[in-house]
Amino acid sequence: MSVFHTSCGQNQTNFPQDNYSKRTYGLSESELKELATAKVPMGQVRNIRQDRNGNILIAASLSGVFRYDGKSFTNLTSGKIGICNFWDILEDRKGNLWFASIDAGVYYYNGKSFQHFTTREGLANDAVGSIYEDKAGNIWLGASRYDGKSFRNFTTKDGFPSNSIRLLLEDKTGKLWFGAQGENMFVYDGKTFTVLKNKDGKAFKNVWSIIEDKKGNIWFGDKNGLWRYDGQTFTKVSQRGAYGIIEDKKGNIWTTGVVKPGGGAWALSRYDAKSLYNKNPAVTEIMSTEKFFLEILEANDGSIWFGSLDRVYRYDGKTITDFRS
């Protein structure tokens, strides 16, 4: 593996021929400078995590990967990697950080130096929108699985229903749940790949988020609503879309997604734990916008963090904090 300590916003010879240093994303020089020097997350906040020390980790598209320690933000990539389109972040079980981008591969950060993984090092492709660590310690980077030494790339030749896969969840039984943008969701039980379909026989497509709740139910969202799977039956819980899904400490389900099928306003919504299995669960709309809301996190202190197209928010149960404002 090659180790890089330079920026993908600077000229260099270590990167593949797809020259990242020339990418401007259609932005002016002043806009690029504003992103490169941002003190708070700007741009699309696709994913938010919390590390073992309680810090909030934020993948903020072109402005970088940020760490929030409860008082201030630190841009972990500014001046080290430069402007790339970051979509996901993971702290692995050893405490190392992984940054996924959809245009420049993946960066591994051990707290001191960066290691860059692209197709030259074995990635299936340089557009990686998700990272997942399975129970065996393998790191899934889109359609690539990394065991710490080498990559294993999965395609339809391996029996997968799709070439464009991402591991979304490994459930308590060991089953692997996969999805991809515009592709069918499917599950692998160790022997067989099964494309999942609703009672009308239609496959679930373009599934972004999946969680397993405390009872072992699987929750996921597609463009047509929020679904729950109890191991036998798929139940449509709500017409509201669900881009991001979490279960909080009290058993409430939180989602971000379009309020009505077909488009329009998006909302951060909370489904009350006591009514989840009712025909029409009680839903509280915390905040709505004409812009997209993306992934969600419940922090250790119970606050809810959620991303949008251009910033990150925190909800403490009473007040919504807009950090960019």
Q: What is the pLDDT of residue 22?
A: 53
CA distance 148 to 153: 14
Q: Note the pLDDT tens digit of each residue in 270-309.
A: 999 999 999 999 999 999 999 899 999 999 999 999 999 9
Judge whether residue 178 has pLDDT over 80.
yes
CA distance 300 to 43: 25
Of 219 and 16, more confident: 219
- Check residue 230 and report its DSSP letter: -
Q: What is the DSSP string of 74-88?
A: EESSTTTT-S--EEE
- Check residue 62 and report its DSSP letter: T
Q: What is the pLDDT of residue 131?
A: 96
Q: Note the pLDDT tens digit of each residue in 308-322.
A: 999 999 999 999 999
The two tokens of residue 182 are 């515009």
* 130: CB partners within 8 A, 6+ apart: 87, 88, 100, 140, 141, 142, 166, 167, 168
Q: What is the pLDDT of residue 177?
A: 95
CA distance 228 to 233: 8
What's the mean pLDDT when you consider all of the chain? 89
**Which range, of 28-42, 183-197, 207-221, 258-272, averages the lowest pLDDT?**
28-42
Judge whether residue 17 has pLDDT over 80.
no
Q: What is the pLDDT of residue 23?
A: 66
Q: Note the pLDDT tens digit of each residue in 124-166.
A: 989 999 999 999 999 999 989 999 999 999 888 888 888 778 8
pTM to 2 decimal places: 0.90
Q: What is the mean pLDDT of residues 192-216?
A: 91
- Secondary-structure percent of the chain, ordered helix, strand, coil, rounded to 5: 5, 40, 55
Judge whether residue 8 has pLDDT over 70.
no
CA distance 39 to 324: 9
CA distance 76 to 82: 10
Judge whether residue 264 has pLDDT over 70.
yes
Q: What is the mean pLDDT of residues 170-185?
A: 91
Kindly indicate the confidence band of residue 198, based on its pLDDT and cuts at 50, 70 and 90: confident
